[in-house]
Protein backbone atom coordinates (compact mmCIF):
# COMPACT_ATOMS: atom_id res chain seq x y z
CA UNK A 1 0.00 0.00 0.00
CA UNK A 2 1.36 3.39 -0.97
CA UNK A 3 1.88 6.18 1.54
CA UNK A 4 -0.78 8.28 -0.20
CA UNK A 5 -3.35 5.47 -0.03
CA UNK A 6 -2.61 4.92 3.65
CA UNK A 7 -3.08 8.65 4.25
CA UNK A 8 -6.53 8.48 2.61
CA UNK A 9 -7.55 5.54 4.79
CA UNK A 10 -6.30 7.32 7.89
CA UNK A 11 -8.39 10.37 6.99
CA UNK A 12 -11.44 8.14 6.61
CA UNK A 13 -10.82 6.78 10.09
CA UNK A 14 -10.69 10.24 11.64
CA UNK A 15 -13.29 11.94 9.42
CA UNK A 16 -15.84 9.29 8.44
CA UNK A 17 -19.01 10.02 6.54
CA UNK A 18 -22.17 7.93 6.59
CA UNK A 19 -21.48 5.43 3.83
CA UNK A 20 -22.98 2.64 5.93
CA UNK A 21 -26.44 4.19 5.39
CA UNK A 22 -26.27 3.70 1.62
CA UNK A 23 -26.19 0.92 -0.95
CA UNK A 24 -23.00 1.34 -2.97
CA UNK A 25 -22.97 -0.40 -6.37
CA UNK A 26 -20.40 -3.12 -7.02
CA UNK A 27 -17.44 -2.21 -9.21
CA UNK A 28 -17.27 -3.61 -12.74
CA UNK A 29 -13.54 -3.08 -12.97
CA UNK A 30 -10.51 -2.28 -10.87
CA UNK A 31 -9.20 -3.74 -7.64
CA UNK A 32 -12.01 -2.88 -5.21
CA UNK A 33 -15.41 -4.49 -4.66
CA UNK A 34 -17.42 -1.25 -4.65
CA UNK A 35 -17.37 1.69 -7.02
CA UNK A 36 -15.91 5.01 -6.06
CA UNK A 37 -19.08 6.97 -6.80
CA UNK A 38 -18.78 10.60 -7.92
CA UNK A 39 -22.06 11.01 -9.83
CA UNK A 40 -24.22 12.10 -6.91
CA UNK A 41 -24.76 15.42 -8.68
CA UNK A 42 -26.67 13.41 -11.31
CA UNK A 43 -28.25 10.67 -9.18
CA UNK A 44 -27.58 10.07 -5.51
CA UNK A 45 -27.14 6.59 -4.07
CA UNK A 46 -30.05 4.75 -2.46
CA UNK A 47 -30.35 4.95 1.32
CA UNK A 48 -30.66 1.43 2.75
CA UNK A 49 -33.79 2.45 4.67
CA UNK A 50 -35.64 3.41 1.48
CA UNK A 51 -36.63 -0.10 0.45
CA UNK A 52 -38.18 -1.17 3.77
CA UNK A 53 -39.98 2.13 4.34
CA UNK A 54 -41.39 2.17 0.82
CA UNK A 55 -42.58 -1.42 1.26
CA UNK A 56 -44.37 -0.39 4.46
CA UNK A 57 -46.37 2.15 2.48
CA UNK A 58 -47.04 -0.38 -0.28
CA UNK A 59 -48.19 -2.96 2.26
CA UNK A 60 -50.67 -0.45 3.67
CA UNK A 61 -52.28 -0.34 0.24
CA UNK A 62 -52.53 -4.14 0.18
CA UNK A 63 -53.98 -4.33 3.68
CA UNK A 64 -56.31 -1.33 3.67
CA UNK A 65 -57.21 -0.37 0.12
CA UNK A 66 -58.89 3.02 0.01
CA UNK A 67 -59.02 3.20 3.81
CA UNK A 68 -55.28 3.79 3.78
CA UNK A 69 -56.02 7.45 3.15
CA UNK A 70 -56.97 7.73 6.82
CA UNK A 71 -55.96 4.47 8.52
CA UNK A 72 -52.44 3.72 7.27
CA UNK A 73 -49.62 4.08 9.79
CA UNK A 74 -48.65 7.08 7.69
CA UNK A 75 -52.08 8.17 6.37
CA UNK A 76 -52.05 9.15 2.72
CA UNK A 77 -54.43 12.09 2.89
CA UNK A 78 -52.02 14.33 4.84
CA UNK A 79 -48.86 12.43 3.78
CA UNK A 80 -47.28 15.39 2.01
CA UNK A 81 -47.25 17.25 5.32
CA UNK A 82 -44.66 14.77 6.64
CA UNK A 83 -42.20 16.24 4.15
CA UNK A 84 -42.95 19.92 4.63
CA UNK A 85 -41.08 20.74 7.85
CA UNK A 86 -37.86 18.81 7.10
CA UNK A 87 -37.76 20.21 3.56
CA UNK A 88 -38.20 23.70 4.98
CA UNK A 89 -35.36 23.18 7.44
CA UNK A 90 -33.09 21.97 4.66
CA UNK A 91 -33.54 25.10 2.53
CA UNK A 92 -33.85 27.66 5.33
CA UNK A 93 -37.55 28.35 4.95
CA UNK A 94 -40.74 28.42 6.97
CA UNK A 95 -42.98 25.35 6.66
CA UNK A 96 -45.71 27.57 5.27
CA UNK A 97 -43.33 28.59 2.45
CA UNK A 98 -42.44 25.05 1.40
CA UNK A 99 -44.11 22.22 -0.48
CA UNK A 100 -42.88 18.97 -2.05
CA UNK A 101 -44.61 18.29 -5.36
CA UNK A 102 -44.21 17.48 -9.06
CA UNK A 103 -40.84 17.62 -10.80
CA UNK A 104 -38.40 20.52 -10.97
CA UNK A 105 -39.31 22.03 -14.34
CA UNK A 106 -43.03 21.60 -13.73
CA UNK A 107 -42.59 23.54 -10.50
CA UNK A 108 -40.62 26.27 -12.25
CA UNK A 109 -43.41 26.68 -14.79
CA UNK A 110 -46.11 26.78 -12.09
CA UNK A 111 -44.12 29.39 -10.20
CA UNK A 112 -43.44 31.49 -13.30
CA UNK A 113 -47.18 31.61 -13.93
CA UNK A 114 -47.28 33.69 -10.75
CA UNK A 115 -43.95 35.50 -10.85
CA UNK A 116 -43.10 36.15 -14.49
CA UNK A 117 -45.53 38.97 -15.31
CA UNK A 118 -43.89 40.72 -18.26
CA UNK A 119 -44.73 44.10 -19.73
CA UNK A 120 -43.49 45.74 -22.94
CA UNK A 121 -40.95 47.76 -20.98
CA UNK A 122 -39.97 45.02 -18.51
CA UNK A 123 -40.05 41.50 -19.91
CA UNK A 124 -36.51 40.14 -20.00
CA UNK A 125 -35.31 37.06 -18.11
CA UNK A 126 -31.73 36.64 -16.85
CA UNK A 127 -30.17 33.18 -16.72
CA UNK A 128 -26.60 31.91 -16.91
CA UNK A 129 -25.39 30.83 -20.33
CA UNK A 130 -24.32 27.48 -18.87
CA UNK A 131 -27.71 26.89 -17.23
CA UNK A 132 -28.99 23.34 -17.41
CA UNK A 133 -30.81 23.04 -20.76
CA UNK A 134 -34.23 22.46 -19.20
CA UNK A 135 -34.03 25.87 -17.53
CA UNK A 136 -33.28 27.43 -20.90
CA UNK A 137 -36.20 25.59 -22.45
CA UNK A 138 -38.49 26.71 -19.63
CA UNK A 139 -37.70 30.43 -19.73
CA UNK A 140 -37.66 30.60 -23.52
CA UNK A 141 -41.06 28.94 -23.70
CA UNK A 142 -42.42 31.29 -21.03
CA UNK A 143 -41.22 34.30 -23.02
CA UNK A 144 -42.82 32.94 -26.19
CA UNK A 145 -46.05 32.14 -24.34
CA UNK A 146 -46.31 35.81 -23.39
CA UNK A 147 -45.70 36.90 -26.98
CA UNK A 148 -42.01 37.86 -26.85
CA UNK A 149 -39.08 36.79 -28.98
CA UNK A 150 -37.05 34.40 -26.83
CA UNK A 151 -33.79 35.47 -28.48
CA UNK A 152 -34.38 39.01 -27.29
CA UNK A 153 -36.16 38.32 -24.02
CA UNK A 154 -33.63 35.91 -22.49
CA UNK A 155 -30.33 37.44 -21.31
CA UNK A 156 -27.64 34.76 -21.05
CA UNK A 157 -24.77 35.60 -18.70
CA UNK A 158 -21.30 34.46 -19.75
CA UNK A 159 -18.03 34.52 -17.79
CA UNK A 160 -15.36 36.96 -18.84
CA UNK A 161 -13.06 35.80 -21.64
CA UNK A 162 -10.57 33.28 -20.30
CA UNK A 163 -12.64 32.61 -17.16
CA UNK A 164 -14.97 29.72 -16.36
CA UNK A 165 -17.17 31.16 -13.60
CA UNK A 166 -19.43 34.18 -13.31
CA UNK A 167 -18.40 37.10 -11.15
CA UNK A 168 -21.12 38.38 -8.86
CA UNK A 169 -20.39 41.96 -9.86
CA UNK A 170 -20.88 41.08 -13.52
CA UNK A 171 -24.22 39.45 -12.76
CA UNK A 172 -25.38 42.53 -10.86
CA UNK A 173 -24.39 44.85 -13.72
CA UNK A 174 -26.76 43.00 -16.06
CA UNK A 175 -29.82 43.62 -13.89
CA UNK A 176 -31.30 46.61 -15.69
CA UNK A 177 -34.73 48.17 -15.66
CA UNK A 178 -35.99 45.91 -18.45
CA UNK A 179 -35.46 42.73 -16.41
CA UNK A 180 -38.65 41.12 -15.13
CA UNK A 181 -37.17 37.89 -13.77
CA UNK A 182 -33.80 36.64 -12.58
CA UNK A 183 -33.66 32.83 -12.59
CA UNK A 184 -30.22 31.37 -11.91
CA UNK A 185 -28.87 28.06 -10.68
CA UNK A 186 -27.81 28.23 -7.04
CA UNK A 187 -24.94 25.88 -7.85
CA UNK A 188 -24.08 25.68 -11.52
CA UNK A 189 -24.45 22.13 -12.80
CA UNK A 190 -21.45 22.34 -15.15
CA UNK A 191 -18.79 24.13 -13.11
CA UNK A 192 -20.01 23.56 -9.55
CA UNK A 193 -19.88 27.31 -8.84
CA UNK A 194 -21.95 28.38 -5.83
CA UNK A 195 -23.62 31.67 -6.67
CA UNK A 196 -23.87 34.52 -4.16
CA UNK A 197 -27.61 34.06 -3.68
CA UNK A 198 -28.26 36.81 -1.10
CA UNK A 199 -26.27 39.49 -2.95
CA UNK A 200 -27.80 38.73 -6.34
CA UNK A 201 -31.30 38.49 -4.86
CA UNK A 202 -30.94 41.91 -3.23
CA UNK A 203 -29.57 43.44 -6.42
CA UNK A 204 -32.40 41.97 -8.46
CA UNK A 205 -34.98 43.47 -6.12
CA UNK A 206 -33.27 46.87 -6.26
CA UNK A 207 -33.56 46.68 -10.04
CA UNK A 208 -37.28 45.99 -9.73
CA UNK A 209 -37.11 42.34 -10.79
CA UNK A 210 -38.47 39.16 -9.26
CA UNK A 211 -35.72 36.73 -8.24
CA UNK A 212 -36.09 32.96 -8.33
CA UNK A 213 -33.54 30.17 -7.99
CA UNK A 214 -33.11 26.69 -9.41
CA UNK A 215 -31.61 24.76 -6.50
CA UNK A 216 -31.27 21.38 -8.21
CA UNK A 217 -27.55 21.26 -7.38
CA UNK A 218 -27.78 23.28 -4.16
CA UNK A 219 -30.44 21.55 -2.06
CA UNK A 220 -28.73 18.97 0.13
CA UNK A 221 -25.35 20.26 -1.05
CA UNK A 222 -24.91 23.65 0.66
CA UNK A 223 -26.71 25.42 3.52
CA UNK A 224 -29.49 27.70 2.31
CA UNK A 225 -31.49 30.51 3.95
CA UNK A 226 -34.20 31.26 1.41
CA UNK A 227 -36.48 33.07 3.85
CA UNK A 228 -33.79 35.30 5.32
CA UNK A 229 -32.32 36.00 1.89
CA UNK A 230 -35.73 37.27 0.76
CA UNK A 231 -35.81 34.99 -2.30
CA UNK A 232 -39.15 35.31 -4.13
CA UNK A 233 -39.40 31.67 -5.19
CA UNK A 234 -37.26 28.60 -5.71
CA UNK A 235 -37.52 25.00 -6.87
CA UNK A 236 -35.28 21.97 -6.56
CA UNK A 237 -35.19 18.28 -7.43
CA UNK A 238 -34.66 15.45 -4.94
CA UNK A 239 -32.73 12.84 -6.91
CA UNK A 240 -29.25 14.36 -6.81
CA UNK A 241 -27.81 15.25 -3.40
CA UNK A 242 -31.12 14.36 -1.73
CA UNK A 243 -30.89 10.70 -2.80
CA UNK A 244 -34.62 10.12 -3.29
CA UNK A 245 -34.35 8.08 -6.49
CA UNK A 246 -34.55 8.66 -10.25
CA UNK A 247 -37.21 11.19 -11.17
CA UNK A 248 -38.01 11.82 -7.50
CA UNK A 249 -40.51 14.46 -6.46
CA UNK A 250 -39.24 18.02 -6.34
CA UNK A 251 -39.66 20.89 -3.92
CA UNK A 252 -40.85 24.47 -4.18
CA UNK A 253 -40.53 27.61 -2.07
CA UNK A 254 -42.61 30.79 -2.09
CA UNK A 255 -41.64 33.59 0.28
CA UNK A 256 -44.24 34.34 2.94
CA UNK A 257 -44.76 37.90 1.71
CA UNK A 258 -46.39 36.39 -1.39
CA UNK A 259 -48.57 33.90 0.46
CA UNK A 260 -52.24 34.77 0.35
CA UNK A 261 -51.56 37.49 -2.23
CA UNK A 262 -53.77 37.91 -5.27
CA UNK A 263 -51.39 36.28 -7.74
CA UNK A 264 -52.26 34.43 -10.93
CA UNK A 265 -51.86 30.75 -10.27
CA UNK A 266 -52.97 27.45 -11.75
CA UNK A 267 -55.17 25.43 -9.42
CA UNK A 268 -56.30 21.86 -8.98
CA UNK A 269 -57.59 19.34 -6.45
CA UNK A 270 -54.82 19.89 -3.93
CA UNK A 271 -54.70 23.70 -4.30
CA UNK A 272 -57.65 24.20 -1.99
CA UNK A 273 -57.50 24.22 1.79
CA UNK A 274 -57.61 20.72 3.30
CA UNK A 275 -60.40 21.50 5.76
CA UNK A 276 -62.94 22.18 3.02
CA UNK A 277 -61.57 19.95 0.24
CA UNK A 278 -64.29 17.35 0.59
CA UNK A 279 -67.12 19.83 0.55
CA UNK A 280 -66.64 19.38 -3.22
CA UNK A 281 -67.34 23.04 -4.00
CA UNK A 282 -66.55 24.24 -7.56
CA UNK A 283 -64.40 27.16 -6.36
CA UNK A 284 -60.99 26.56 -4.78
CA UNK A 285 -60.17 28.11 -1.44
CA UNK A 286 -56.37 28.31 -1.57
CA UNK A 287 -54.58 28.34 1.79
CA UNK A 288 -52.14 31.14 2.57
CA UNK A 289 -49.23 28.70 2.23
CA UNK A 290 -47.12 27.25 -0.55
CA UNK A 291 -49.66 24.41 -0.69
CA UNK A 292 -51.78 26.76 -2.83
CA UNK A 293 -49.38 26.02 -5.72
CA UNK A 294 -50.12 22.29 -5.55
CA UNK A 295 -52.32 20.98 -8.30
CA UNK A 296 -52.65 17.23 -8.06
CA UNK A 297 -53.20 14.51 -5.49
CA UNK A 298 -49.70 13.70 -4.12
CA UNK A 299 -48.17 10.38 -5.29
CA UNK A 300 -47.59 8.59 -2.00
CA UNK A 301 -45.12 5.98 -3.22
CA UNK A 302 -43.00 8.73 -4.77
CA UNK A 303 -43.12 10.75 -1.55
CA UNK A 304 -41.92 7.85 0.59
CA UNK A 305 -38.25 7.92 -0.59
CA UNK A 306 -38.16 11.71 -0.21
CA UNK A 307 -39.36 11.38 3.38
CA UNK A 308 -36.67 8.77 4.09
CA UNK A 309 -33.99 11.03 2.64
CA UNK A 310 -35.10 14.11 4.55
CA UNK A 311 -34.93 12.15 7.80
CA UNK A 312 -31.24 11.52 7.14
CA UNK A 313 -30.55 15.22 6.59
CA UNK A 314 -32.55 16.13 9.68
CA UNK A 315 -30.54 13.69 11.79
CA UNK A 316 -27.08 14.67 10.55
CA UNK A 317 -27.56 18.35 9.68
CA UNK A 318 -26.66 20.20 6.50
CA UNK A 319 -24.10 22.38 8.32
CA UNK A 320 -22.18 19.29 9.48
CA UNK A 321 -22.31 17.85 5.99
CA UNK A 322 -21.12 21.11 4.46
CA UNK A 323 -18.06 21.15 6.71
CA UNK A 324 -17.10 17.62 5.68
CA UNK A 325 -17.86 18.46 2.06
CA UNK A 326 -15.36 21.29 2.10
CA UNK A 327 -12.66 19.06 3.61
CA UNK A 328 -13.36 16.21 1.20
CA UNK A 329 -13.46 18.45 -1.88
CA UNK A 330 -10.23 20.17 -0.84
CA UNK A 331 -8.56 16.78 -0.49
CA UNK A 332 -9.72 15.72 -3.96
CA UNK A 333 -8.54 19.04 -5.37
CA UNK A 334 -5.08 18.41 -3.89
CA UNK A 335 -4.98 14.95 -5.45
CA UNK A 336 -5.91 16.43 -8.84
CA UNK A 337 -3.09 18.99 -8.80
CA UNK A 338 -1.94 19.77 -12.32
CA UNK A 339 -5.33 19.06 -13.90
CA UNK A 340 -7.38 21.82 -15.54
CA UNK A 341 -10.03 22.35 -12.84
CA UNK A 342 -12.68 24.88 -13.90
CA UNK A 343 -14.51 24.96 -10.56
CA UNK A 344 -13.69 27.98 -8.35
CA UNK A 345 -10.72 27.36 -6.07
CA UNK A 346 -12.33 29.28 -3.20
CA UNK A 347 -14.16 26.64 -1.09
CA UNK A 348 -16.86 29.19 -0.25
CA UNK A 349 -17.68 29.58 -3.96
CA UNK A 350 -18.30 25.94 -4.80
CA UNK A 351 -20.38 22.98 -3.72
CA UNK A 352 -19.40 19.31 -3.52
CA UNK A 353 -18.07 19.23 -7.06
CA UNK A 354 -14.91 19.60 -9.08
CA UNK A 355 -15.19 19.90 -12.85
CA UNK A 356 -12.18 19.27 -15.05
CA UNK A 357 -11.60 20.21 -18.65
CA UNK A 358 -10.47 16.98 -20.27
CA UNK A 359 -10.21 16.21 -23.97
CA UNK A 360 -12.22 13.11 -24.79
CA UNK A 361 -14.11 13.36 -21.51
CA UNK A 362 -16.68 10.75 -22.54
CA UNK A 363 -14.05 8.11 -23.28
CA UNK A 364 -12.14 8.99 -20.11
CA UNK A 365 -15.33 8.55 -18.08
CA UNK A 366 -15.98 5.17 -19.71
CA UNK A 367 -12.47 3.92 -18.94
CA UNK A 368 -12.66 5.13 -15.35
CA UNK A 369 -15.81 3.12 -14.85
CA UNK A 370 -14.97 -0.14 -16.58
CA UNK A 371 -11.25 -0.34 -15.90
CA UNK A 372 -11.02 1.23 -12.43
CA UNK A 373 -14.49 1.13 -10.87
CA UNK A 374 -14.67 4.94 -10.64
CA UNK A 375 -17.96 6.56 -11.67
CA UNK A 376 -17.83 10.22 -12.69
CA UNK A 377 -19.76 11.82 -15.52
CA UNK A 378 -18.84 13.61 -18.70
CA UNK A 379 -20.52 16.67 -20.20
CA UNK A 380 -19.89 17.43 -23.83
CA UNK A 381 -17.61 18.48 -25.23
CA UNK A 382 -14.81 18.36 -22.66
CA UNK A 383 -15.93 18.48 -19.02
CA UNK A 384 -15.52 15.66 -16.50
CA UNK A 385 -17.41 16.15 -13.23
CA UNK A 386 -16.55 14.64 -9.83
CA UNK A 387 -18.96 15.09 -6.91
CA UNK A 388 -17.44 13.98 -3.58
CA UNK A 389 -20.72 13.71 -1.66
CA UNK A 390 -20.08 14.06 2.09
CA UNK A 391 -22.76 11.55 3.07
CA UNK A 392 -21.17 8.54 1.36
CA UNK A 393 -17.96 9.49 -0.47
CA UNK A 394 -14.66 8.72 1.23
CA UNK A 395 -11.12 10.05 1.09
CA UNK A 396 -10.11 6.68 -0.29
CA UNK A 397 -12.65 7.14 -3.10
CA UNK A 398 -10.96 10.45 -3.89
CA UNK A 399 -7.55 8.82 -3.88
CA UNK A 400 -8.81 6.07 -6.19
CA UNK A 401 -10.33 8.58 -8.58
CA UNK A 402 -7.23 10.76 -8.81
CA UNK A 403 -4.92 7.77 -9.20
CA UNK A 404 -7.10 6.22 -11.88
CA UNK A 405 -7.46 9.50 -13.77
CA UNK A 406 -3.70 10.02 -13.78
CA UNK A 407 -3.21 6.54 -15.28
CA UNK A 408 -5.89 7.05 -17.92
CA UNK A 409 -4.53 10.45 -18.90
CA UNK A 410 -1.02 9.02 -19.14
Query: Is it the case that residue 235 has pLDDT exceeding 90?
Result: yes
- Cα angle at 128 between 102 and 263, to 5 degrees? 45
Q: What share of the chain in percent tops pLDDT 90? A: 99
Residue 134 marked as a ligand binder: yes
Segment 258-298, tens digit of pLDDT: 999 999 999 999 999 999 899 999 999 999 999 999 999 99
Does 270 appear as a known binding residue? no
Mean residue pLDDT of the chain comes to 97
Q: What would the mean pLDDT of 7-34 be, rounded to a whole number? A: 96
The SS3 assignment for 283 reads coil
Identify the band that residue 147 occupies on the pLDDT scale cut at 50, 70 and 90: very high
Predicted local confidence at residue 8, as pLDDT:
98
pLDDT surpasses 90 at 30: no
The CATH classification number of 3-41+317-409 equals: 3.90.1150.10
132 belongs to an annotated ligand binding site: yes
Asked whether residue 253 is marked as a ligand-binding residue, the answer is: no
The pTM for the full model equals 0.97
* Integer CA distances (angstroms), 267 to 12, 116, 182, 220, 284, in order: 50, 17, 24, 29, 8
Residue 236 annotated as lining a ligand binding site: no
Q: Which pLDDT tens digit goes with each residue over 326-378?
A: 999 999 999 999 999 999 999 999 999 999 999 999 999 999 999 999 999 99
Amino acid 29: pLDDT: 86
pLDDT digits (tens, 9 = 90+) for 390-410: 999 999 999 999 999 999 999
Question: Can you tell me the distance from the alpha carbon of 170 to that of 157, in angstroms, rounded to the nearest whole number?
Answer: 8
Q: Where does CATH 3.90.1150.10 sit in the chain?
A: 3-41+317-409
pLDDT by residue (tens digit) across 84-119? 999 999 999 999 999 999 999 999 999 999 999 999
167: how many CB neighbours lie within 10 A of its CB?
A: 13
**Taking Cα atoms as reference points, which of 163, 164, 169, 234 lies closest to residue 192?**
164
Question: For position 24, what pLDDT does the model report?
Answer: 98
Question: What stretch(es) of the chain map to CATH 3.40.640.10?
Answer: 54-314
For 18, 250, 287, 344, the CA distances from 13, given in Å and listed in that order, are: 12, 35, 49, 28
Is 217 one of the annotated binding-site residues?
yes
Is 133 marked within a binding site?
Answer: yes
Residue 214 assigned to a binding site: yes
Percent of the chain at pLDDT exceeding 70:
100
Q: Shortest CA distance to 157 belongs to which of 109, 111, 203?
A: 203
From start to end of 297-364, where are the E strands?
A: 354-357
User: Other C-beta atoms within 10 Å of 99: how many?
Assistant: 27
Residue 1, pLDDT score: 83
Q: How confident is the model at residue 311 (pLDDT cuts 50, 70, 90)?
A: very high
CATH architecture of 54-314: 3-Layer(aba) Sandwich (3.40)
Q: What's the rounded Cα separation, in Å, for the pair 222 and 186? A: 9
198, 224 Cβ separation under 8 angstroms? no
- Residue 179 phi/psi, 5-degree rounding, is -90, 120
For helices 3-14 and 395-409, the axis angle rounded to 10 degrees is: 150
Burial class (CB in 10 A: 0-12, 13-18, 19+), 120: exposed
Q: Cβ(83)–Cβ(310) under 8 Å? A: yes
* 175, 183 Cβ separation under 8 angstroms: no
Amino acid sequence: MSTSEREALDLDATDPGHRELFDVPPAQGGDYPEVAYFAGNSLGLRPKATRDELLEDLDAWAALGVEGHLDAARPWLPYHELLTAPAARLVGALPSETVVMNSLTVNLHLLMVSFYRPTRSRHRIVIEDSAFPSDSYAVRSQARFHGYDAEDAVIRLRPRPGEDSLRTSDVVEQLGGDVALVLLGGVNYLTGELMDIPTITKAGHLAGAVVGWDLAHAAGNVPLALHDWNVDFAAWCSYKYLNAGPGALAGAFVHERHLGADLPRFEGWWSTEAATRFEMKPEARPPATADAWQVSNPPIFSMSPVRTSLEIFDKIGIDVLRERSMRLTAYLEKQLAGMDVITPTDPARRGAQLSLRVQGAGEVSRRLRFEYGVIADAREPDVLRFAPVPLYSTYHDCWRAATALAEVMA
